[in-house]
């Protein structure tokens, strides 16, 4: 039936994304949803319409053609980290990201990154975390990358693998589509073991930047 009511788990399977992603979208009102008691529920017909709208709006280009790494990352926003605790790593990366001219409110960025992480871990498995926010005080999407020389053990990742790579994304509030495309871009590309190992073995931010900008040509 078109009006079947779906759970978060069912929507995640249908969209082929993680349950955490669906939960985050529902919390932010970015996907048609409603609460019955304390749990999120979704109408199948509304989800199908939502998907069709987004597929149609993106039909003239692919994610890889839209996201250009050199436009959102620079060598000075790649950090070699040595923090074993999640909060310390997030603070260091947020402080670095806040130096970008696109970030107009350093305090808001840090507060929202930490709040978002308290709500639900942004670790996606394979030793990767992608903390991300959209804020009205951000003028354009920008990314900071953290490469940890030690395991960050308290990220509560789905596969229990300690985090070693962090990609912190901040976007303007009206950049919803580009924001999701960027999340998808890094989530997809970082599945490659060779890429992850190359970044973790990078001797310097410049070396890591060369690896990342190579994604634009792949």
Q: Which domain holds residue 47?
A: 5-60
Among the candidates 14, 42, 60, a domain finishes at: 60
Total domains, the chain:
2
Give the phi and the psi of residue 29 in degrees, each rounded to 5. 70, 25
CATH number for position 48? 1.10.1660.10
Q: Which residues contact 207 (CB under 8 A, 6 or more apart)?
A: none
Q: Is the pTM of this model over 0.85?
A: no
The answer to whether residues 48 and 71 belong to one domain is no
Using an 8 Å Cβ cutoff, are 122 and 116 in contact?
Answer: yes
Which pLDDT belongs to residue 217?
A: 55
The answer to whether residues 54 and 97 belong to one domain is no
What is the C-alpha separation between 5 and 211, in angstroms, rounded?
A: 44
Which pLDDT belongs to residue 184?
A: 85
The answer to whether residues 51 and 103 belong to one domain is no
Among the candidates 39, 60, 81, a domain finishes at: 60
- In this prediction, residue 16 has a pLDDT band, given cuts at 50, 70 and 90, of confident
CATH number for position 94? 3.40.930.10
- In this prediction, residue 204 has a pLDDT band, given cuts at 50, 70 and 90, of very high
The answer to whether residues 9 and 35 belong to one domain is yes
- Name which residue leads in pLDDT, 5 or 87: 87
The answer to whether residues 155 and 202 belong to one domain is yes
The answer to whether residues 122 and 33 belong to one domain is no
The answer to whether residues 89 and 135 belong to one domain is yes
pLDDT in tens, 100-110: 999 999 999 99
pLDDT in tens, 129-143: 999 999 999 999 999
The answer to whether residues 105 and 180 belong to one domain is yes
User: What is the average pLDDT across 177-187?
Assistant: 86
pLDDT in tens, 36-50: 877 888 888 888 777
Q: Is 55 helix (H, G, I), strand (E, B) or coil?
A: helix
Among the candidates 17, 43, 60, a domain finishes at: 60
Give the phi and the psi of residue 78 in degrees, each rounded to 5. -120, 120
The answer to whether residues 132 and 196 belong to one domain is yes
The answer to whether residues 39 and 111 belong to one domain is no
Is 29 a residue whose pLDDT tops 80?
A: no
**Closest by CA position to 146, among listed 218, 104, 96, 183:** 96
Q: Report CA Rg, the chain.
A: 17
The answer to whether residues 103 and 182 belong to one domain is yes
The answer to whether residues 75 and 49 belong to one domain is no
How are beta strands 163-172 and 132-135 bridged, if at all? Answer: parallel
């Amino acid at each position: 039936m078109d009006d079947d009511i779906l759970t978060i788990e069912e929507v995640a399977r249908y969209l082929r994304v993680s349950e955490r992603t669906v939960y985050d979208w529902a919390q932010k009102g970015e996907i048609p949803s409603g609460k019955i008691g304390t749990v999120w529920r979704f109408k199948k017909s509304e989800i199908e319409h939502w998907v069709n709208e987004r597929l149609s709006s993106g039909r003239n280009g692919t994610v890889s053609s839209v996201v250009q790494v050199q436009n959102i990352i620079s060598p000075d926003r790649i950090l070699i980290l040595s923090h074993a605790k999640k909060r310390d790593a997030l603070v260091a990366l947020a402080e670095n990201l806040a130096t970008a001219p696109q970030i107009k409110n350093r305090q808001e960025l840090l507060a929202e990154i930490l709040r978002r992480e308290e709500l639900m871990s942004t670790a996606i498995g394979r030793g990767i975390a992608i903390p991300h926010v959209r804020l009205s005080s951000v003028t354009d999407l920008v990314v900071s990358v953290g490469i940890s020389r030690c395991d960050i053990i308290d990220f509560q990742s789905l596969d229990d693998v300690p985090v070693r790579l962090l990609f912190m994304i901040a976007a303007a509030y009206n950049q919803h589509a580009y924001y999701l495309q960027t999340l998808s871009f890094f989530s997809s590309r970082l599945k490659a073991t060779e890429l992850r190992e190359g970044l973790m073995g990078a001797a310097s931010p410049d070396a890591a930047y060369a690896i990342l900008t190579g994604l634009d040509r792949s």
